[in-house]
Structure 1
Amino acid sequence: MTTTTVTTTVPTAARVVDAVKVYGTGDTSVRALDGVSVDFPVGRFTAIMGPSGSGKSTLMHCAAGLDTLTSGTAHIGDTELSSLDDRRLTLLRRDRVGFVFQAFNLVPTLTVAENITLPLDLAGGKGDREWIDALIDVVGLRDRLHHRPGELSGGQQQRVAVARAFAGQPDVVFADEPTGNLDSRSGEEVLGLLGRTVRQTSRTVVMVTHDPVAAAHADEVVFLADGRLVDRMAAPTADKVLDRMKAFEVPS
């Protein structure tokens, strides 16, 4: 009798393979990424951490198609980004990628509802109204839809930005220090929201942060140092992440 072992692989929403990014030339060049290979699984919340200058923001920008690699490849799903011309790359970012930044980037003259659907409106589509309606409840903005950004707290504005990022049902949402402009309570609300959105919608979030408390909301943390991937931590806690980060500070 023979037995068959079946292995299952989790599909990836985004990944980079042998990623190298060099800024400048000659003696002034800086190697921001030095052969990084990392995958971001579908339906997971992944945090990217590392000391200042470790390459974490560069990794996110290249994985999201906001910047190009010097060598190596970046993929959204099965699509290799360097194979796309500028027009198709723009369409991919619009249709398959969402972004949340430290600055909320809301249009002050538009209502909450209009800000949430703005990318869809600019693309000439209406999106899935049932999805957007459910998303409004996930982010807790039902009673703020007709308000403008100036009438909201910072935390509420970032919740609008999160809803906008997910409105088009992207394959992956990239968040760059999304709580950087928020007080601790509002930051906790936004991080909890990102986690709930991943769990309730099976979407994928990749977040760059320097904060161990923020990273603890993720399913996994990947650590960079000197442009290289040096560790991965599943089920992180703030204390475990802090201890790992302290290791980077030990004098050589």
Structure 2
Amino acid sequence: MTTDLAPPTPPTESGESTPGPSGFAAAGAVDATKVYGVGDAEVRALDGVTVSFETGKFTAIMGPSGSGKSTLLHCLAGLDVLTSGATFVGDTYLATLDDKALTELRRTKVGFVFQAYNLIPTLTAEENIMLPMMLGGESGDAEWIDNVITTVGLKDRIHHRPSELSGGQQQRVAVARALASRPQIIFADEPTGNLDSTTGAEILDFMRRAVREFGQTIVMVTHDPVAASYADRAIFVADGKLDGELLDPTSEQILERMIQIGN
């Protein structure tokens, strides 16, 4: 499955990637393959995946356990390296970057939300939100950050440490941290996996609002059809390959599609 969104022009011999036609995807993969192990132990977690993700949209990646969905997300985000093929963010192919440049891209252009929150226990909620910018010696846009903090409902908890916050509040901090620097794209890996259904729905609703009201781009891995129904688009992965997509999906449509994949 491909889309009509253009990837950047392939790198030249000098290793540089140049912008291509209008209609860039926010991120994507071209013939992405990831192999673990060798010989009889070889596992093809990704097997020639080509996909792109539209700017200003909320996309869910779904598939059975072991399908390759999290591997795809991690390779798109530069947290893992492909065996062959390419991934890109904006007009940059990740393979053209050295470690320093890749770290800089992840800090400035990519936001992350994980199931485990990944907050620093000794820092306050505000300090955790500001941490990526602080590491780069930046203070960010104060008005925007205040808007994000207010929108996620943390105004009265901003000076509390993670141990003083509920699971839902900690995940709100993680989402606010991902939004604070206005990244080009946010990657979320099972962001509501540790939350009860009510709190999870609140987080998902905020993520959807971030896309529709703030123009954010979010790509989320989830196993939950209800969570995926908050997205503008759901793509399905099975055995390391893409296996169709749904636009403006309902939870019932997603569940039916997952049952088909399982059979």
TM-score over 0.5 for the pair: yes
8 Å Cα contact 2:121/2:162 also seen in 1: yes
Q: 127-136 vs 211-220, which deviates more?
A: 127-136
Distance 1:10 1:160 in 2: 32
Q: 206-215 vs 23-32, which deviates more?
A: 23-32
8 Å Cα contact 1:224/1:230 also seen in 2: yes
1:239–1:9 distance in 2 versus 1, CA, 3 Å:
farther
1:179 match: secondary structure? coil
Distance 2:232 2:22 in 1: 17
1:82 match: secondary structure? helix
Distance 1:101 1:132 in 2: 20
Residue of structure 2 equivalent to 1:129: 142
TM-score by length of 2: 0.90
Match of 2:74 among 44, 55, 61: 61
8 Å Cα contact 1:33/1:59 also seen in 2: yes
Q: Could you report, residue by residue, the CA deviation over 1:145-167 in whole angstroms, capped at 9, with x for unpaired residues?
A: 12221221111110000000111
Residue of structure 2 equivalent to 1:88: 101
Q: Could you report, residue by residue, the CA deviation over 1:16-57 in whole angstroms, capped at 9, with x for unpaired residues?
A: 011111111122110011110010110000000011111000
8 Å Cα contact 1:139/1:193 also seen in 2: yes
The answer to whether residue 262 in structure 2 is matched with residue 230 in structure 1 is no
Distance 2:63 2:100 in 1: 33
1:9–1:231 distance in 2 versus 1, CA, 3 Å:
farther
Q: 210-219 vs 148-157, which deviates more?
A: 148-157
Distance 2:84 2:159 in 1: 47
Distance 2:253 2:69 in 1: 19
TM-score by length of 1: 0.94
- Runs (5+) with no aligned partner, structure 1: 1-7
Structure 1 runs of 4+ aligned residues shifted over 4 Å read none
Give the share of equivalent positions with the same residue, in percent. 62
Residue of structure 2 equivalent to 1:12: 25
RMSD: 1.2
The answer to whether residue 127 in structure 2 is matched with residue 145 in structure 1 is no
Q: Could you report, residue by residue, the CA deviation over 1:90-141 in whole angstroms, capped at 9, with x for unpaired residues?
A: 1111111110000011122221111110111111111111111111122111
The answer to whether residue 117 in structure 2 is matched with residue 118 in structure 1 is no
Q: Could you report, residue by residue, the CA deviation over 1:65-89 in whole angstroms, capped at 9, with x for unpaired residues?
A: 1111111110000100001111111
8 Å Cα contact 1:138/1:197 also seen in 2: no
- Runs (5+) with no aligned partner, structure 2: 1-20
